[in-house]
Amino acid sequence: MRKISRRSFIKAASWGTLSLSACGCDGSMRQHANRPSAKPNIIFIMADDMGYGDVSCYNPNSRIQTPNIDKLATEGIRFTDAHSPSAVCTPTRYGVLTGRLTVASFLKQHGYHTACIGKWHLGMDWRLKEGVELNEQDQETVDYSKPIVTGPNEVGFDYFFGTAGCTTDDPPLCFIENHSTVGVPTEMLPHDFAGENRKLRMAPGWRHEDADVTFVKKSVEFIRDCAKTNDPFFLYLPLSVPHIPWLPPDFVKGQSDADPRGDQVILVDWCVGQIVATLERLNISDNTLVILTSDNGPRKGVNGHKSAYNWRGYKGSIWEGGHRVPFIARWPARIKPNSVSDEGICLTDLMRTCAAILHVKLQQDAGEDSYNVLPALVGGSATRPIRKATIHHSGAGVFAIRQGPWKLILGTKGSGANRGPQSGVSGQLYNLVDDPGEQNNLWGNQPELVKHLTELLETYKRQGYSRQARRP
């Protein structure tokens, strides 16, 4: 069990996303006079380790076919320059939800029913066995018969059903509903897929293969319940696939040409299809914004499958393959079908985009790493990029900054996936328009540009946010 408490969730930026001061909002949000007649439902589906090249509408030579996701893109918009804030999962999840005021808390204030169904991985405070100190929380010291102290319900979600962490290697291996485990994890998994020679505590009958199918079933139930009351809802659906180990359920086994990992991408596609079909059956599809993305880049594909497409690097890397992710949005009432956008966006932009959808003006120091990308979603024309710059972060703590076509990487000549920034090492500079594969390091050729981007990144790091200057 990862020792991540709710306190850690508030401070999680130190793990990779730049939201050091997170998203404060004191409730004094000012609303515009012109409000939409009906608030849209919002569904945010986030796959785990699904790459840009795993989705067939992004990769024409993909060995995995994703017809439901492709249809989502045909009926909506596909972004080609979308990024996770980190190249690994936990800081990205923090960045998506943002700190003190989460997207769920914000939407709940505005009449939404909110649910998180899936892989949480942002820490929970459990009740411990008698005599155990708080800092000794692990899978053997928790009293699973008692309610969880803090989790998703305490940060804005009316309903939670999911797992505490990865469904395959983060104990307890069991479902959790709100504050209680579904069954008490009294057994030990007889084998350890994580390869760390440790035993993992699990609930009787636990099967990794059932996790995402169950997440979708619970999501469909939540959508149906909300549709009965005709109230708007926000569903955050963080799937656990195609994360390792690759254990696809029987109905998708052998469905791809990329071995079990590819089959699990097929499972993601199935999940998307089930959610969209539910919306259509309930006749609420037109006014529902569905977003599909991934928490970071993929692991390397097999059999010639380019899981990261033509981008360099994979999960954990500061290169594009580590954090450039598929991002597709469908909202029939607002988004033109078969649209493609090259606008640079980041998953941290969810907060301010939701505020814009509701015509609510957040305080200037709220959502400090978030930009309103609604104009790009609905096809509005822009004379300049929405984001002034975008911060990237590797699995080992290497920072990069992107502005226009230029990307600066500090403190390493490598990927940053397994080794952090090194003192005395200059870095890398790429023009992604001319060199999308990041092969031609221009660090020594552009000293003024290196100086400018270095100073901008240091300013963001020093002030603790990356959006705009804070009001006096």
Residue 391 CA to residue 459 CA, distance in Å, equals: 12
* Predicted pLDDT at 190: 82
* Predicted pLDDT at 119: 98
218-257 residue pLDDT tens? 999 999 999 999 999 999 999 999 999 899 999 999 999 8
At 391 the three-state DSSP class reads strand
Residue 173 CA to residue 166 CA, distance in Å, equals: 9
Closest Cα to residue 222, out of 183, 278, 152?
278
Residue 294 CA to residue 46 CA, distance in Å, equals: 5
**pTM (whole model) above 0.85:** yes
The alpha-carbon radius of gyration of the chain (Å, integer) is 21
* Predicted pLDDT at 471: 40
Query: How does DSSP assign 420-462, residue by residue?
Result: ---TT--EEEEETTT-TT-----GGG-HHHHHHHHHHHHHHHH
Query: How does DSSP assign 25-67, residue by residue?
Result: --S-PEEPS---SSPPEEEEEEESS--GGGSTTT-TT-SS--H
* Predicted pLDDT at 195: 65
The residues, ordered by sequence, that sit 6+ positions from 191 with a Cβ below 8 Å of its Cβ are none
Which residue ranges of the chain lie beneath pLDDT 70?
1-37, 99-100, 192-196, 381-382, 468-472
Residue 103 CA to residue 92 CA, distance in Å, equals: 14
| Domains assigned to the chain | 6-14+38-377 (3.40.720.10), 396-463 (3.30.1120.10)
* Predicted pLDDT at 33: 33
* Predicted pLDDT at 394: 98
